[in-house]
C-alpha cells in the first residue's frame, strides 16, 4: 500500500498542470508559402511535439481557412485561459527557436490577435470546453465607434432567440482586445459539415427579425462584416 501511495504521488508531481480557465483567446494567422503545404504540416506537427514534451498546459487548435479572401491560410489559437497565462508560457525562448526552425521557413505571418470571450452573449463555448467542431463559420463585425453597448444589447436578444430555437448550433462571441482595428467582434458558429447549413443558416439579423428595437441597435452599430469557413485539423492541434 505504501508503494502504491508513493507511485500515485509521483504521477501527480510529474503530470502537466492544466491552465486555469479564463476569457483569453489568442489567434495567430499564417499564409502558407506556395508549394510548402506538406513541409509546413510536417514542421508544425514537429513543433506541437515540442509543446507536448515540455508539458505545455495551453491548448492549441489548428484550422485551415477553406473559403473567402484568405482561402488556404492556417490559423492556430490558444483559448480558455486567463490573459496572464501568456506571461508564463513554457520556455518562451526555446519555443520560439523551435518554431523558427520547424515552421517559419514555410509560412508568412499575417496577424497576431487577442480576443476576449463574451460568455454572457454566447450560446455555447465549445472551444473553451475542448470540444471543437469539424468546421466553424467565422464572421467578423466592424462597429462604428461608441456603438458597443447597443451592439451587445442586440446580441443578448439574439442569444435568447437561439436558446428557444431547436437544433441551433453553438454561437460563441469574442471582442477584439489587441492586434487590429477596434471595435471589432468575432462570431464563431460550430458546424459539423455543409449539411448543417440545411438545418440552420440564420444570421444575426434573421434572429432579430421579430425584435425591431434590437434589430435597429444591431444595424445602427455594424459598419461592415465578413465571413469565412475554417476546417479543423486534429493532427495540427494539441489538447493537453
pLDDT in tens, 42-73: 999 999 999 999 999 999 999 999 999 999 99
Looking at residue 10, its pLDDT comes to: 43
Looking at residue 195, its pLDDT comes to: 96
pTM above 0.95, yes or no: no
DSSP secondary structure letters along 60-120:
BEEEEE-SSTTTT-EEEEEEEE-GGGGGG-TTHHHHHHHHHHHTGGGEEEEEEEEEEE-TT
C-alpha cell of residue 30: 499564417
Fold of 18-115: Alpha-Beta Plaits (3.30.70)
Closest CA to 220 of 168, 160, 161, 152: 152
pLDDT in tens, 115-161: 999 999 999 999 999 999 999 999 999 999 999 999 999 999 999 99
Domains 18-115 and 135-231 share a fold: yes
Looking at residue 158, its pLDDT comes to: 98
Looking at residue 45, its pLDDT comes to: 98
CATH code that applies to domain 135-231 = 3.30.70.100
pLDDT in tens, 88-111: 999 999 999 999 999 999 999 999
In angstroms, the CA 58 to CA 77 distance is: 10
**Burial grade of 45 (CB within 10 A; 0-12, 13-18, 19 or more):** middle
Helix 37-53, helix 92-102: angle, nearest 10: 160
| Helices and strands in the chain, H and E counts | 7, 8
pLDDT in tens, 170-215: 999 999 999 999 999 999 999 999 999 999 999 999 999 999 999 9
pLDDT of 26 above 60 = yes
Locate the domains of the chain by residue range: 18-115, 135-231
Residues facing residue 28 across a β-bridge: 76, 112
Amino acid at each position: 500500500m505504501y508503494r502504491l501511495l508513493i507511485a500515485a504521488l509521483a504521477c501527480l508531481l510529474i503530470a502537466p498542470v492544466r491552465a486555469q480557465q479564463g476569457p483569453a483567446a489568442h489567434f495567430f494567422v499564417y499564409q502558407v508559402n506556395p508549394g510548402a503545404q506538406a513541409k509546413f504540416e510536417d514542421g508544425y506537427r514537429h513543433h506541437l511535439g515540442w509543446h507536448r514534451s515540455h508539458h505545455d498546459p495551453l491548448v492549441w487548435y489548428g484550422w485551415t481557412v477553406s473559403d473567402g479572401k484568405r482561402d488556404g491560410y492556417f490559423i492556430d489559437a490558444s483559448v480558455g485561459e486567463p490573459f496572464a497565462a501568456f506571461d508564463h508560457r513554457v520556455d518562451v525562448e526555446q519555443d520560439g527557436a523551435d518554431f523558427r526552425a520547424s515552421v517559419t521557413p514555410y509560412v508568412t505571418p499575417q496577424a497576431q490577435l487577442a480576443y476576449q470571450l463574451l460568455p454572457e452573449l454566447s450560446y455555447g463555448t465549445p472551444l473553451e470546453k475542448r470540444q471543437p467542431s469539424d468546421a466553424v463559420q467565422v464572421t467578423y463585425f466592424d462597429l462604428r465607434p461608441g456603438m458597443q453597448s447597443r451592439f451587445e444589447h442586440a446580441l443578448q436578444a439574439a442569444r435568447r432567440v437561439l436558446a428557444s430555437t431547436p437544433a441551433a448550433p453553438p454561437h460563441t462571441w469574442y471582442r477584439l482586445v489587441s492586434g487590429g482595428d477596434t471595435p471589432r467582434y468575432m462570431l464563431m458558429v460550430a458546424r459539423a459539415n455543409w449539411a448543417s447549413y440545411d438545418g440552420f443558416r440564420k444570421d444575426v439579423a434573421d434572429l432579430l427579425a421579430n425584435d425591431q428595437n434590437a434589430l435597429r441597435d444591431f444595424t445602427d452599430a455594424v459598419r461592415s462584416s465578413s465571413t469565412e469557413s475554417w476546417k479543423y485539423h486534429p493532427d495540427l492541434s494539441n489538447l493537453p
